[in-house]
Amino acid sequence: MNIILLGPPGAGKGTQARHLVETRGMVQLSTGDMLRDAKASGSDMGKKVSAIMEAGQLVTDEIVIGLIEERLNAEQGAGFIFDGFPRTLAQADALAALLAKLGQSLHTVIEMRVDDEALVARITGRFTCGSCGEVYHDKTKPTAVEGTCDNCGSTELKRRADDNENSLRTRLMEYYKKTSPLIGYYYAKGDLRPVNGLAEIDEVKASIGAILG
């Protein structure tokens, strides 16, 4: 079962994807994580995308489609969770073609609906564990012990360079201009299932669980 988590920055895609990985053995494919890894590795591609990401703009379709293609060919599991991909109609078409080549298809597109006002608080309070990738929030999901990851005990907690109000404004504009048309696209295909992303994390988990069965 291959699914897309679709929603604006801060909607909770990463949080829910990690839960599906843990509970269902699915494979999370986050282009944001792949691009941040490329940046951290200091590769030529990483250097090229670094400033674009910090500004909150989308990197080129060619780069992210290439990253997804590599991982689709390399990974196996109980289905893929596309997190933060596709973000343009060209990426959506490319994904359909890549899956068809593997004899696979998309099962469901989960649209995570969240108000714009809530996103500022989500993004500015977000921090993650540099070791295991667990996602936290200053107010809604703090660590049990300050400065220590609940999941793995690491003290390497970090904030993203693009998680500030300025970059978020650009990211939201990019979302509305280039990504939100995908809602209509997948609705017309009959694949779209909305969930209330404003509910508490556990409630969102339950809504998605009910949709996926």
Task: Report the interface residues with Zn ion, using CB under 5 A.
Answer: 129, 131-132, 134, 149, 151-152, 154
Rounded Cα–Cα distance for residues 94 and 70 (Å): 13
Which residue number, 103 or 146, has a Cβ lying nearer to ligand ADP? 146
Choosing from 18, 36, 39, 87, the catalytic residue is 87
Using CB under 6 A as the binding rule, the residues of this chain from 78 to 137 that contact ligand ADP are 84-85, 87, 91, 122, 125-126, 135-137
**Strand extents, DSSP E, 38-141:** 80-83, 108-113, 126-129, 135-137
Residue 9 interacts, among ligand ADP, Zn ion, none and using kind-specific CB cut-offs from 5 to 8 Å, with ligand ADP
Among 4, 27, 38, 53, interactor with ligand ADP by CB under 6 A: 53
CB 189: neighbour CB atoms within 10 A?
Answer: 12
Query: Residue 184, exposed/middle/buried by CB under 10 A (0-12, 13-18, 19+)?
Result: exposed
Given the residues 18, 171, 178, 205, select the one marked as catalytic.
171
Shortest Cβ distance from residue 199 to Zn ion (Å)? 25
Token pair, residue 31, equals 């282009």
Let me know if 126 is a catalytic residue. yes
Chain centroid offset of residue 122 CA: 14
71 given a catalytic annotation: no
